[in-house]
Structure 1
Amino acid sequence: MTEGGVFEPVQVYFDDLDAMGLLHNSRYALLIERAIGAYWGRLGWASDPVRSVFKDVFLAVREFKVTYNVPIAGAGEPLVHFWIDRLGRTSGVYGFRVLSEDRSVVHAEGYRVNVNLDPATLRPAPFSDELRTAAAPLMLTPAGAR
């Protein structure tokens, strides 16, 4: 695996844990969402079209796959490592890994497919050139492909 992409710290709170003190399986999706949202938020993306620097603000998750490797035990601050495997005309595929703070343990890994929607029709719409330019640093090069 290449070290390309972004490493974003995320917070696991006590109420994210199940009765055994492990991060509940449903919370991994939330960690991914928080990490990707924080990254794009720093670039000026917002879900409100009036505030967003991008016109692509109506993105829906089409598919989400996660493989759990080693549970996260207790509250803390793991890292989410994410990148874009593919950016098509109307959809993009993020790859991700949830890592321990020191990056030595891969707690979970998988991918998430997002589709850009036209808010009026709820049909897939092409990504803007601005979003494509901003996404370029997240794209893996062929030499870094998994």
Structure 2
Amino acid sequence: MTTTVEFGTLQRVQVHFDDLDAMGIVHNARYGVLVERALSTYWLSQGWTFNPATSIFPNDQMLAVREVTISYHTPISTMDDLEVHLWVEHLGRTSIRYGARVLSADHSVLHAEAARTQVKIDPHTRRSAPLSPEFRAAAERLMPPR
């Protein structure tokens, strides 16, 4: 489910049993997975698929993660649904940097803040390549107003 916010989007994600560590809280490495789930949900809703033959972004299939940063605030100790607030912090010629906040479902608790940078890779040369106009248009919908 996608809910509109002032800027960006909210994506509902589920905490799974295998996200928890031996202490019964979400393992620190799984926060990146929660953000990944939210990003996948957004892009699938925009027409991106894992198959270039059926995706409306056939030239933007290879997006390599360059950097991820996460700041942890409040541990997640349940397998309840969460909301991930996503937005685009920077849209470059060949890269995109997302911001994210992992929130409780009712938005009363901030669990973590994250940033993720991806670079488009040309599948033939394995070098960075420009993002397509279609991809850029879908990404711009996640940018804060100027």
Is the pair's TM-score, using the shorter chain for normalization, greater than 0.5?
Answer: yes
Pick from 118, 125, 142 the counterpart of residue 121 of structure 1.
125
1:43, CA displacement in angstroms? 1.2
Return 5+ residue gaps in structure 2 as ranges.
none
Q: How many residues align?
A: 141
Greater mean alpha carbon deviation, residues 47-56 or residues 104-113: 47-56
Q: Which has the higher strand share?
A: 2
Letter in 2 for 1:8: Q
Aligned alpha-carbon RMSD (Å): 1.1
Structure 1 alignment gaps of length 5 or more = none
SS at structure 2 position matched to 1:113: strand
C-alpha displacement at 1:141, in angstroms? 2.1
1:82-118 per-position Cα deviation (integer Å, ceiling 9, x unaligned): 1001100000100000001110111000200010110
Q: For the residues of structure 2 that align with 1:59 and 1:15, how far apart are their CA atoms? A: 26
The amino acid of 2:69's aligned partner reads: K
How far did 1:50 drift? 1.1
| Match 2:65 to one of 33, 38, 61 | 61
The residue identity in structure 2 corresponding to 1:103 is H
Match in the other structure for 1:22:
25
**Quick check: 1:81 aligned with 2:85?**
yes
Q: Distance in 1 between matches of 2:52 and 2:15?
A: 30
Query: Normalised by the size of structure 2, how large is the TM-score?
Result: 0.93
Equivalent in the alignment of 2:52: 49
Q: How does 1:103-114 map to 2 (within 5 A)?
A: 103-114=107-118
CA contact (8 A) 1:9 1:79 kept: yes
Tell me what 1:37 maps to.
40
TM-score (norm 1): 0.93
1:3, 1:53 → 2: CA distance? 26
